[in-house]
Chains A and B, each alone.
Chain A
Amino acid sequence: MEKGKVKVVNEVGLHARPAALFVAKAASFKSDIRIHNATKDGKWVSAKSILGVLTLGVEKDHEIEITAEGADEAEAVKQIIALIENDFA
């Protein structure tokens, strides 16, 4: 299992378009990917679920944790973190 932690720098957090981009990125991997809002210390949800991700209420400056398990787990965590660090560019 691969793990990662990243701070969301994007102004609107994981809402609206960034949330959709995040979920689309996660869905492009075979691994089971889960995400949780470490700042709120809340529940874990599937990173491939837009409904799940929206209910985490991730705002700017929140830290999120990601785990991936499967054939492409290392690549998945790397790319998802890069997406957030690069401000969804």
Chain B
Amino acid sequence: MIILKGIPASGGIATGPAYVFRHAELGIKRETISDPAAEISRLDSARDIARQQLQTLREKTELEASADEAAIFDAHAMFLDDPSLLELVADAVNNRKLNVEAAWSDGIENFAQQMEMMGDEYLSARAADIRDVGKRVIRILSGQGDTDLSELSAPSIILAQDLTPSDTARLDKNFVLGFATAEGGPTSHTAILAKALGLPAVVGCGPALLEICGGTEMLIHGGKGELIASPDEETKKRYVQLTGEASRMAELELKSAGDHAVTKDGRQVEIVANVGSPSDAVSALKFGAEGIGLLRTEFLYLERTTAPTEEEQLAAYKAVLDVMEKRPVVVRTLDVGGDKQLDYLDLGKEANPFLGWRAIRMCLDKPDFFKIQLRALLRASPGHDLRIMFPMIATLEEVRRSKALLAEARQEVIAAGFPVAENIQVGIMVEIPAAAQMADLFAKEVDFFSIGTNDLTQYTMAAERTSEKMAYLADPCHPAVVRQIKRVIEEGHKAGIWIGVCGEMAGDPEAAPILLGLGLDEFSMAAPSIPHLKAILREWSYANAKKLAEAVINLENGAAVREHVRNFRL
């Protein structure tokens, strides 16, 4: 038994035989040639084939993964036809009478190495892309076809040095149980692909990974970042049990995901999804989402050089609303600050961006910029249940100013001759303790509260939520946080408004029963968590959950709260 530790890249457990993927060694001969024109014409035909392959890969990837992933192949196509590269190759062939395979791979290496030497993460990644294109052409020239993972014919765990988009694009996803790579980090291509496919992946396992022979029995635990080769009987039994139970349960839960979450004594709560892009909305429905509790709009603003226009935003919001039809869709207005740089907006660099000029604070200082988003939302509203939510609200003045801008935007849209839905609910994120404390007053201003438990915990415990060292301060089950949630729900209900939670806590199987007992109306979470959470809530009665909530509020810390939930006898 060999145990390898790597970086957890995508959760899940799987067992199966190893399939070791090695890039074919492309031996490149160096020869002196006599007919340069014939060499160049061989290269041109190879590039024609490569261009077609890239086009096919692009279309397939766009269909199966995302437009962003697919765009990688656009960059590959640009490299393939780059005039500087072709000039370098033509010079070697025409003047030095070098065969085209050698000339091409020299040219590719020339640019790849220049980029690597610039010490820039972005350019190093492009160096890998350039070599990927280079090998594609060499394979075609040498008649080796396109090496890929398509020869995979039985369900396996893929082991590789690293995987590129070209490697995985033609992969038959039915035959993959998981991924492990010797190199790569948590944001490598392998990690992103595995998450999108819902498969376990461990990356950065080190060179020992590639000493494992194909066919070796493997266990992979994505969440722990652990990989076991040739496991002993006892370990195997443990894993088989884990995977068997997990997949049986998941299957059952998915079957009933479309049904409502109703407790044993008949209380129904709303289960909705957190969504970061229009394509997420489609998969949210498959997992049984009854609406969207949080549409993050940052995807519209990031990684571009100019601000998104009203028309662009309108199209994106329409896309999500059309998918959700009449279901509720809560859209959070832009939430960026000094931790994310936008080329077209000078957000400045701050020592503590989470305590800085961000989200509604920034938007209220740039009313013309903010109203573009508000107008696009209003124009998207007719025929749908659109709800607008303002993030990072600390004071009543901020809510009132946001509502005033929304009213202005509505006037502008109507004046321009566009229809707007009559009833658009307006709410706030409750994520700053000041808002939680003043919930009674805020409740008079809005139609709903959505508690952002990740930030509420971070601001309550004064501990950055991304810090590994302070993980013990990041538990939303800490009574200091739970008591605030209790207060927010009580005050909200007194004023007759509904309350949701859109942080990790809502999808946390140990925390959700507490929220149920506190009277929460709406649980919003990552879509894949929905089937399991619905199943858990159906096992509880509202009466029991209330007892649970009353008890945990008086415990000392988050760990004690969680233990109490686990030991609570239903």
Chain A residues within 8 Å of B, Cβ to Cβ: 10-12, 15-18, 20-21, 23, 45-46, 48-52, 54-55, 57, 87-89
Contacts and interface: CB of A to CB of B under 8 A. Distances in A.
Contacts of B82: 49-52
B343 to A, nearest CB: 4
A51 B305 contact: no
Contacts of A48: 83
B305 A10 contact: yes
Q: Among the interface residues B83, B303, B306, B342, which one has the most CB atoms of the partner chain A within 10 A?
A: B83
A51 B343 contact: no
7 closest residue pairs by CB, A with B: A49-B84, A11-B343, A52-B84, A88-B305, A55-B114, A51-B111, A51-B82
Contact of B118 (A11, A18, A51, A57): A57
8 contacts: A15-B122, A15-B123, A17-B303, A23-B78, A46-B87, A51-B85, A51-B130, A52-B82
Nearest to B107: A51
B301 interface: no
A20 B303 CA distance: 14
Contacts of B331: none
A50 B305 contact: no
A12 B122 CA distance: 10
Nearest to B345: A11
Given A17-B304, A54-B126, 15 more contacts: A10-B343, A12-B305, A12-B343, A16-B122, A17-B305, A20-B75, A20-B78, A45-B84, A46-B83, A48-B83, A49-B82, A51-B84, A55-B111, A55-B114, A89-B306
Q: Among the interface residues A10, A16, A21, A23, which one has the most CB atoms of the partner chain B within 10 A?
A: A16
A1 B85 CA distance: 24
Contact of A55 (B115, B304, B305, B344): B115
B120 interface: yes
Contacts of A49: 82-85
A48 B86 CA distance: 12
A25 to B, nearest CB: 13
Contacts of B342: 11
B343 A87 contact: yes
Nearest to B74: A20
The B interface, classified by DSSP as helix, strand, loop or mixed, is helix
Contacts of B85: 49, 51
Nearest to B111: A51
A54 B78 contact: no
Contacts of B343: 10-12, 87
A33 B224 CA distance: 53
A56 B521 CA distance: 56
B402 to A, nearest CB: 28
Interface in B390-422: none
B123 A57 contact: yes
B32 interface: no
Nearest to A27: B83
A49 B118 CA distance: 18
Interface residues of B, number: 25
Contacts of A51: 79, 82, 84-85, 111, 130
Contacts of B45: none
B341 interface: yes
Nearest to B84: A49
B201 to A, nearest CB: 26
A45 to B, nearest CB: 6
Contacts of B83: 46, 48-49
B340 to A, nearest CB: 11
A23 to B, nearest CB: 7
B344 A87 contact: yes
Contacts of A89: 305-306
Contacts of B126: 54
Nearest to A15: B122
Contacts of A20: 75, 78
B79 to A, nearest CB: 6
A50 to B, nearest CB: 5
Interface in B294-335: 303-306
Contacts of A16: 122
B416 to A, nearest CB: 23
A30 to B, nearest CB: 14
A35 B75 CA distance: 20
A50 B77 CA distance: 11
Nearest to A88: B305
B102 to A, nearest CB: 19
Q: Among the interface residues A12, A20, A21, A50, which one has the most CB atoms of the partner chain B within 10 A?
A: A50
Q: Among the interface residues A45, A49, A87, A89, which one has the most CB atoms of the partner chain B within 10 A?
A: A49
B55 to A, nearest CB: 17
Contact of B341 (A11, A55, A87): A11
A57 to B, nearest CB: 5
Interface string B121-142: 0110010001000000000000
Contact of A88 (B123, B303, B306): B306
Interface in B338-374: 341-344
A54 B115 contact: yes
A14 B161 CA distance: 31
B305 A54 contact: no
Contacts of B118: 55, 57
Given A51-B79, A88-B305, A88-B306, A57 B84 contact: no
Interface in B71-121: 75, 78-79, 82-85, 87, 111, 114-115, 118, 120
Contacts of A54: 115, 123, 126
Contacts of A21: 305
